[in-house]
């Protein structure tokens, strides 16, 4: 079972990696053959592919901020809940701000790194915000 103190520290550092705008830093939290799957899509397998996925968000949102909402121990794994804020001003961007929340279910492997992350967020709300911006109110 994971220790809560390890997990909170890990999640804070992972959040900081996303905010650093350094995709290799995000990928370093994964095993060399680790995977990241978002909304049931094709998994990014290996650090290079995970860095490419992170780079896609960082490029789309040059002012990207990721906030850690909470992290929970779940058996041998964890749930990392986050909020993403940013303005879609990257190449081909809409210029609209987004504010979405989601979570990742982590399975850990050796050396305290992520073996598998299954990410989820409301893709419909994300697409709507890309097109129209954040809903007022």
Domains of the chain: 4-132 (3.10.450.50)
**Tokens representing residue 50 in the block:** 């995970």
Are 129 and 96 spatial neighbours (Cβ–Cβ below 8 Å)?
A: yes
pLDDT tens by residue, the chain, 137 residues:
678 899 999 999 999 999 999 999 999 999 999 999 999 999 999 999 999 999 999 999 999 999 999 999 988 899 999 999 999 999 999 999 999 999 999 999 988 999 999 999 999 999 999 999 987 65
Whole-angstrom CA distances from 42 to 29, 39, 53, 119 are 20, 9, 11, 12
Nearest to 14 by CA among 63, 50, 56: 50
* Residue 70: exposure state from Cβ atoms within 10 A (0-12, 13-18, ≥19): exposed
Q: What is the pTM of this model?
A: 0.94
Are 112 and 34 spatial neighbours (Cβ–Cβ below 8 Å)?
A: no
pLDDT reported for residue 1: 62
């Amino acid at each position: 079972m994971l220790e809560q103190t390890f997990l909170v520290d890990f999640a804070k550092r992972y959040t900081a990696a996303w905010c650093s705008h350094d995709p290799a830093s995000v990928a370093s939290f994964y095993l060399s053959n680790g995977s990241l799957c978002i909304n049931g899509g094709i998994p990014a397998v290996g650090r290079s592919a995970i860095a490419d996925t992170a780079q896609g968000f960082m490029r789309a949102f040059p002012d990207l901020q990721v906030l850690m909402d909470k992290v929970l121990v779940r058996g041998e794994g964890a749930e990392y809940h986050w909020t993403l804020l940013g303005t879609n001003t990257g190449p081909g961007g809409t210029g609209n701000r987004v504010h979405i929340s989601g979570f990742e279910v982590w399975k850990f492997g050796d050396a305290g790194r992520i073996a598998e992350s299954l990410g989820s967020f409301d893709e419909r709300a994300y697409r709507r915000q890309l097109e129209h911006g954040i809903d007022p109110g």
